[in-house]
Structure 1
Amino acid sequence: MPKVTYISHDGAERQVELPAGWTLMQGATLNGIDGIEGECGGSCGCATCHVYVDERFADKLAPMSEVEDEMLDCTESPREANSRLGCQIKATPEIDGIIVRLPEAQS
């Protein structure tokens, strides 16, 4: 199972293993990781699963959709070049070891 490290805004780290096909948002919410809300349940209809992806993994992710790009314009915390929505990143063997930082606020 791919491992994901979530780093909270205050620097606390938590690593979890996600079943293949789960999203980073699912992994965070189902493992009690604070800082990811996922209000829309993973339908790319809000921006409350905003994460900053470690740049070493950027080329291993599926391309951003137009809808995700638009939703990232609505984030509470500043959008950066490595901003993605956790509900749009699926756990795959290619992203094993991915590190994501959580923003200061989601909503």
Structure 2
Amino acid sequence: MPRITFIEPDGTVRLVDAEPHESAMQAAKRNGVDGIIGECGGSCICATCHCHVDEAWLDRVGPAGDIEADLLEFEAADVRPESRLACQIQITEALDGLVLHVAGRSR
């Protein structure tokens, strides 16, 4: 079972066991990670699961797609090159150990 490290906005580190093929948002919500709200349920329309992918994981996670990038640009605060929506990161065994920094709240 892949494990994700979420670093919450206040610096709290949360280790979460994720199911393969669920999204990072689903794993975070199931485990009560602070700052991952997921108001849209993973439909890529709200940006309330905005996170920053740790630099060591950028290549494996990959960049945001066009729709996700547009949503981040218009709806999220503190957008950076490593910004992603947790609902769009599908967990696989290759992402075991992934580190995500939960971003501040959306606008």
Q: Please give the TM-score of this superposition, normalised by the length of structure 1.
A: 0.93
Cα separation, 1, equivalents of 2:62 and 2:53? 13
In the TM superposition, residue 63 of structure 1 has moved relative to its aligned partner by 4.2
Matching of residues 25-104 of structure 1 within 5 Å:
25-104=25-104
Please, which moves more after superposition, 60-69 or 17-26? 60-69
Runs of 4+ in structure 1 off by over 3 angstroms are none
Could you tell me how far apart the structure 1 residues matched to 2:2 and 2:55 are? 17
Identity of aligned residues (%): 41
Q: Matches of 1:18 and 1:78 in 2, distance apart?
A: 26
Aligned-residue offset at 1:80: 0.5
- Structure 1 unpaired stretches of 5+: none
Q: Secondary structure at the match of 2:74?
A: coil
Q: Summarize deviations over 1:4-36 as a string: whole Å, max 9, x none.
A: 000011110000110100101001111111101
Partner of 2:12: 12
Gaps of 5+ in 2: none
**CA distance in 1 between partners of 2:88 and 2:56 (Å):** 18
Q: Distance in 1 between matches of 2:72 and 2:97?
A: 24
Contact 2:23 2:91 survives alignment (8 Å): yes
Q: What TM-score does the superposition give when structure 2 sets the normalisation length?
A: 0.93
